[in-house]
Chain A
Amino acid sequence: MAEILTAPAPTTTISWREGAPIENNKCPTGELEKRWTRHKDSLRLVAPHNKRKLEVIVVGAGLAGASAAATLGELGYQVKVFVYHNSPRRAHSIAAQGGINAAKNYRNDGDSIWRLFYDTIKGGDFRARESNVYRLAEVSVKIIDHCVAQGIPFAREYGGYLDTRSFGGAQLMRTFYARGQTGQQLLLGAYTALQRQVAQGNVQVYYNYEVVDIVVEEGRVRGIIVRNLITGELHRVAGHAVVLGTGGYGNAYYLSTNAKLSNATAIWRAHRRGAYFANPSFVQIHPTCIPQSGEYQSKLTLMSESLRNDGRVWVPRTPGDKRRPQDIPESERWYYLEEWYPSFGNLVPRDIASRAAKRVCDMGYGVGPTGRAVYLDFSDAIKRLGREVIYQRYGNLFEMYEEITGESPWETPMRIYPAVHYTMGGLWVDYNLMTNIEGLYAIGEANFSDHGANRLGASALMQGLADGYFILPYTIGDYLATQLFVKLSTDTAAFADAEKDTQKRIERILSTKGTHTVDEFHRELGKILWDHCGLARNAQGLTQAYHQIHELQERFWKEVLVPGTGQEFNQNLEKALRVADFLELAKLMVVDAYHREESCGCHLREEHQTEEGEALRNDEKYAYVAAWEWAGEKEPPTLHKEPLKFEFVKPTVRSYK
């Protein structure tokens, strides 16, 4: 860690090196519809009596981690799950509200696997792999079947059949939901499946353990280093394969809709051990969140996208209009989304809706005390459908909004503003969900694979469960089949080194005894990222952000104040370790945003937009996945490009007009 202090100050421009392009992503070829089936048939198998001899480490028990661990347990592998929570049921997937997409076509509205695939690719602004996204759409159907069999109480019609609703970026109703708590119900399904495997002895869950390093030997994963959060002890854990289902890194921004503990440490440590980090600047900013109300604020609360099914977004036609929204007549309201995007209206994808909100606020039309909010109004829907129907659909969300703001959405429109929500970027993985480190897998939000430059609503739950229930359990066997005779040992130099590194990091943080708390650094980092690497980015702002983060990082290691010791339950030490990693990751996010001189999806470079402020893609130069390799603390990162080939869809200008 001492290196950080002596690292040379960055030059005026952001730099990186270009490495060899990624040639083999293991994607099958041939007919798109048959790729996954053919691929599955070509994977190596492990016989049941051998599965018992193979140990798989799963980190995290959100939708992806819990579903993967449960399914691997069902298959007969020996699974160890590590969670930093006090129960696997507390992972942040629990907070997902709106729904889960599946190409069931129960509505008879013309849905199909192809359409879900196409909407997802287009929604991601043509920055994802065709093969992966098609597979996602294909297995989406099985997820709903499995979840219903688990007893998940999805919303139903009076006939007893499953109900669906619309979500952004789709003109079909393919989103299954359980009131405003779909994530909770799906996670509890995966959690109970996991507990069943615990009871059967196939899975062991370790509570209150945080992964602090990944152990890699000659390009192959050997295990992890974990810290017992109660006692502070470090442990070495060996496994034949390691699966990271540790979620996204939106908390780098301090204020986000993520849970407070969500962090990037596992994937960042994997990156430092050689795993490529793909598209780190692709961060989804969700349009409908409750605006910030004060400096003390610790997080932002999302209001589900499903609200845009019935809520209408507007601002007063006169900037600075101070009348109560109820008193502003219809003719003086500007329904800007309906005006700008007539075919999708209020249900445009998230990146578009967020940018539009920023644009009207920048133009001076914003509402509320800060002028950084727009209205989301239900009065028309309440008139049209009645209170009862609206209560059935959004009751808990209305209550939540009222609790937080003290205002009732039944009486007055909600005030909403965009907030950081989800990270499309993550560890680079091949078609098998394996990183470039042999045996190290990344699933769910932790990987980069399916959402391109923008994720559609209700697709995160779909991807997490697709990876965990129906993709990884097949693909991991192909690797594990080669590991049957590998003897696990933690008594190696690689384990010792990793443990020592962590020990040093902890000692350094504790011995600094500076003047500023971890939260103070974190808030500052969040502000830099939000201002310069948020809704809109430009070269000058990014360069400035890079320097600010570098300077902040130096101050962190000189001035951080963490009380207590490393041999006890110490929540501030946990926080400090996470923020130290966010500081490093933030620099890479900025480098990535700087290098991509085009606008696509969530990534709006102000230098590259149409006159109306729409994203201007540059397919000729940037139709690739940017996979970054760690080159050391003093070295600029190395960029490996994985070209994106579109054989089945034609990248077009993404229009929702």
Chain B
Amino acid sequence: MSKPMRFTLKIWRQKNAQEPGHFETYEIDGISPDASFLEMLDVLNEKLIKEGKDPVAFDHDCREGICGSCGMFINGRAHGPLPNITTCRLYMRHFRDGETIVIEPFRAKPFPVIKDLVVDRSALDRIIQTGGYISVNAGSAPDANAIPIPKPVADRAFDYATCIGCGACVAACKNASAMLFTAAKVSHLALLPQGQPERRERVKKMVAQMDAEGFGHCSNTGACAVECPAKIPLTAIAQLQRDFIWANLTPDPYVR
């Protein structure tokens, strides 16, 4: 068994959306290096409850890197010091014994704080609502093999489709842009034959909603792709930009 570790934690505490927040410092000891970051917070919370204090609220669920719940800003980075990983897949062996760890919620105007480290990310759902789908009703589909799709195209579409909607791209971006999130869905569907009928409208509407929600613009720093747990490549943003220009500047042959 590896040697237990101790940490100093500076955690953002905020009672609710209305009240201002502040940092509080906690000391924690006896943490296994094989414990996940969230399990370390579990241990802290058990301790706080027993001391009659308010435990730290944080979002989590699957704890295997796929549900996208556990967004938090650790030592100045979305999902902590490692690139392309969710907080739940971060292990304490990735930190130094005795280290001070600063934990904050994802910060962005469109992500208001609900409590402590929990933020409201429903703005991302509203972007999807404007067009992040193919309009097909259950029952109307042709045979699945009726449309062959070249494997490289399907593979690339899959790479874009793996976005987990965690919002790390927004938190990592100095402009709080949701470009990588939006581009992932636009690009996934733009590559597939099924996505063509609504391709122009989709990109226009989704970008408009992204702006309406208050997300910033993209200035191509690429910080989002460094943190993205799904490793969505920046080529998604390039694809979105191309589609956006094409949709806005070229005439739609189907509209008179």
Q: Could you tell me which A residues sit within 8 Å of B by CB distance? A: 67, 70-71, 74, 85-92, 94-95, 104, 106, 142, 144-162, 178-179, 181, 184-185, 188, 191-193, 195-196, 198-199, 205, 207, 230, 259-261, 293-294, 296-299, 301-302, 400, 403-404, 406, 469-470, 473, 517, 519-520, 561-564, 568-569, 571-572
Contacts and interface: CB of A to CB of B under 8 A. Distances in A.
Closest 10 CB pairs of A and B: A160-B148, A149-B141, A192-B133, A153-B158, A145-B141, A148-B144, A259-B61, A259-B62, A153-B157, A199-B129
Contacts of A188: 161
Given A160-B150, A260-B60, 10 more contacts: A90-B165, A92-B62, A95-B66, A142-B141, A181-B66, A195-B128, A196-B133, A198-B129, A199-B130, A296-B39
Contacts of A520: 46
17 contacts: A70-B138, A71-B137, A89-B165, A95-B67, A142-B139, A144-B144, A149-B134, A154-B154, A156-B155, A192-B132, A199-B130, A259-B67, A294-B35, A296-B42, A299-B63, A404-B89, A564-B54
A569 B136 contact: no
B59 interface: yes
A298 B140 contact: no
B85 A403 contact: yes
Interface stretch (B72-80, B187-195, B216-224, B244-252): B187-195
A517 B194 CA distance: 51
A74 B137 contact: yes
Contacts, number: 218
B61 A146 contact: no
B110 interface: no
Given A184-B162, A569-B16, A151 B85 contact: no
A575 to B, nearest CB: 10
Interface stretch (B96-104, B118-126, B169-177): B118-126
Given A148-B141, A150-B136, A88 B69 contact: no
A139 to B, nearest CB: 11
Contacts of A572: 49, 55
A299 B38 CA distance: 11
B93 interface: yes
Contacts of A259: 61-63, 67
Given A92-B62, A517-B49, A158 B151 contact: yes
Contacts of A142: 139, 141
A86 B121 CA distance: 7
A95 B64 contact: yes
A90 B69 contact: yes
Interface of B: 15-16, 31-32, 34-36, 38-39, 42-43, 46, 48-50, 52-55, 57, 59-69, 85, 89, 91, 93, 114-115, 118, 120-122, 124-125, 128-130, 132-145, 147-151, 154-155, 157-158, 161-162, 164-165, 188-189, 192, 194-195
Contacts of B53: 563
Contact of A88 (B35, B125, B189): B125
B65 A400 contact: yes
A444 to B, nearest CB: 16
Nearest to B159: A153
Highest count of chain B CB atoms <10 Å: which of A145, A294, A572: A145
Contact of A90 (B67, B141, B161, B162): B67
A296 B134 contact: no
A142 B136 CA distance: 13
